[in-house]
Structures are given as C-alpha cells and as structure tokens.
Amino acid sequence: MSYQFITSAKLPTRHGEFDIHIFENDAGQEHVMLTVGLSVAEQNTDAAAISSQNAPPLQKDETLVEQPIPLVRIHSECLTGDAFSSLKCDCGPQLNTAMQAIQETGYGAILYLRQEGRGIGLTNKIRAYALQDQGHDTLDANLMLGLPADARIYDMCGPMLAHVGVKAVKLITNNPDKVAYLAENGIEVVERVPLLVGVNDMNAEYLATKRDRMGHLLDKNINTAIHLNK
C-alpha cells in the first residue's frame, strides 16, 4: 500500500507547538505526524542548494554540524485512552509523556497511526473489553473473538519519516516489533527509550499480559515509579 503527504499546519498544544502533517493511503485512511524541529526533506534539499550557491566553499578543516538524532514515538490510535482517559490502558499517559519529552528535547516526532485497538477497530475493541470484564486477559479476549492478538502494521512509518528526512531515531517504545520493523526498513534505531507511565490498579494486569505474553520489554515489577527514561 502506498502513502502520500496531503497537507500540514501549525498545531499549538498544552505541551507546546507542533507541526502537524497529514498522510493518506490508497484506501483513504489518514495518518498523522506531529513534529518539532524537523523540516520537510525537499525543503532541506532546496535550502542546501541555495546556501551552497551563495556561500564560499568549505575549508578542509571545516565540518558540517551534525543534526541530533530525533526522539520518535510510534503511537497507534486509542480513542478510549487518548481522548477519554481510560484507566484500562496506558495509552493516554504514553502519548502525553512522549509529546512533552519531544517538546523538551526540541527535536522529534509522534507518528499517530489510525489503527484503533491494536488494529481490530473500535467496535471489536469494546467487544474485547466486555470479555476482559469477565476476567479474560487482553490477548485471550481478541482470540476469543477470532481476531489476531495484534493486527497493527507499520508500513506507513517509513514514508512519514522520509518526509522529514529522518533515517535514524531514538525510539520511545516498549515494543520490540516496532524496533524490528524500523531496522528492517532502513531506519536505524540508535536507542530504545523505555516508557512506563500511567500504571494503575485497573491496567496492571493488562501491562503484565503485554510483558509476559506479547513480548513487550517491561520491568518484572510494574509500578508507578518508573517514568520516561530520556
């Protein structure tokens, strides 16, 4: 499936101002990238060309200043957590913590992917919630509905990062699948930045399931004292 950039604008938030970029795939599904301190790759190329025409040649002992590695979060849409502050998951706190960290760093991006409920959609997600209310864990609930444990894909991440010329990242994630995908598609993950926030009595078992059954890289003793490791 192919993805194309549609439009962008400034987006002021309580964390600070981002540039918001909209991408669309062949099926008309929209994905969002929020950036701070990153320029569109084509603009970078044009600016470099203009600068090289007007500036004197570099001396042998002069070096170009390297750009810092951006802090990047790949975040799949979670209406219940991101918008409604659900305590069943940690998605809302993860999103807000990542946005704040990127603002403080001054150089990074949030890739907000429209794949609700780990890719099964909102209706099926709520059906899975109902099964969780009966005592089933988050993985078994999906399987009982005949759905995959995790149906997310990340093929849109490459084009989105390429739009702002990013080839290496510090990735905010506990999910090794995201690290592996980027590495397999030519994007170097120079550092994995752990993220454990928003833990509470309602989601501790959910997080333990992700750790024990889905391979997420979480501490053995999940507690609220662990925060974004910048």
Where is the binding site, in residues? Answer: 73-78, 89, 91, 94, 116-118, 138, 173, 178
85: left (phi over 0), alpha (psi -120 to 50) or beta: left
25-62 in b/e form (b: 16+ CB < 10 A) is beeeeebbbbbbbbebeeeeeeeeeeeeeeeeeeeeee
Q: Which of 19, 90, 150, 192 is catalytic?
A: 150
Residue 77 in contact with residue 92, Cβ under 8 Å? no
Mark whether 150 is an active-site residue.
Answer: yes
Helix (H) or strand (E) holding 49: helix 41-54
Which residues are part of a known binding site for GTP?
A: 73-77, 94, 116-118, 138, 173, 178
Q: Which of 82, 127, 152, 192 is catalytic?
A: 152
Mark whether 152 is an active-site residue.
Answer: yes
Of 149, 200, 140, residue with least CA distance to 177: 149
**Close Cβ partners of 36 (under 8 Å, ≥ 6 residues apart):** 16, 17, 18, 19, 102, 103, 105, 106, 107, 108, 109
| Rounded distance between C-alpha atoms, residue 32 and residue 110, angstroms | 8
Which residues are part of a known binding site for Zn(2+)?
A: 78, 89, 91
Catalytic (active-site) positions: 150, 152
